[in-house]
Chains A and B, each alone.
Chain A
Amino acid sequence: GNSVTQMEGPVTLSEEAFLTINCTYTATGYPSLFWYVQYPGEGLQLLLKATKADDKGSNKGFEATYRKETTSFHLEKGSVQVSDSAVYFCALSDPNAGKSTFGDGTTLTVKP
């Protein structure tokens, strides 16, 4: 079956630090890959996505590249802000499975 493994948290960074959250996946087909963000007490919001190998998704300074050879989709941001503090979920969508698979989430705290 499909699975998504995320870097364990929590992650604590100072403002303007570089962020990397690792994500690797296992899938039988050719999935699309996503990063979602969840702020306290809210639902998830799509942050970025990539639908095929070597695609780069980007949004609000965050980037992730679909690496088929390493089955990875690591999230990066060059300079984090306090407002980036949230829980980040890596996910894949496989048309053969009929549903999505989510990682366990990584909590990011950015301190001023």
Chain B
Amino acid sequence: DGGITQSPKYLFRKEGQNVTLSCEQNLNHDAMYWYRQDPGQGLRLIYYSQIVNDFQKGDIAEGYSVSREKKESFPLTVTSAQKNPTAFYLCASSTEAGRYNEQFFGPGTRLTVL
């Protein structure tokens, strides 16, 4: 079955540590996205990538980094510079960025900073 996988589902880290969230898709989609969702809040775009080896900052990129070395993978690193990293992180993909296509979402990773 085609889809998007995110791992792990729950992640705990100590303050001051970097952590990398995994996102893999086998839908052959060109575009991939990372969102942050806080309790009772909407989605805020962190980074997005329209093609391999290229990505753009979203609305809240500070304290985060990404890479897009392969079409199917778009890992997100939450660095120690992110002041309030505890949140639910969602990865998504679409056939083309910004075209008339829906986004397909992964199940999310809940990050808790202890």
Contact = CB atoms under 8 A, between A and B. Distances in A.
Interface in B86-114: 90, 92, 94, 97-108, 110
A98 B99 CA distance: 7
Contacts, number: 65
A94 B6 CA distance: 26
- Judged by DSSP, the binding face of A is strand
Nearest to B107: A43
Contacts of A105: 41-43
Given A34-B102, A93-B98, A99 B108 contact: no
Interface of B: 4, 6, 33, 40-43, 45, 48, 50, 56, 58, 90, 92, 94, 97-108, 110
Interface of A: 32, 34, 36, 41-46, 49, 51, 89, 93-100, 102-105, 107
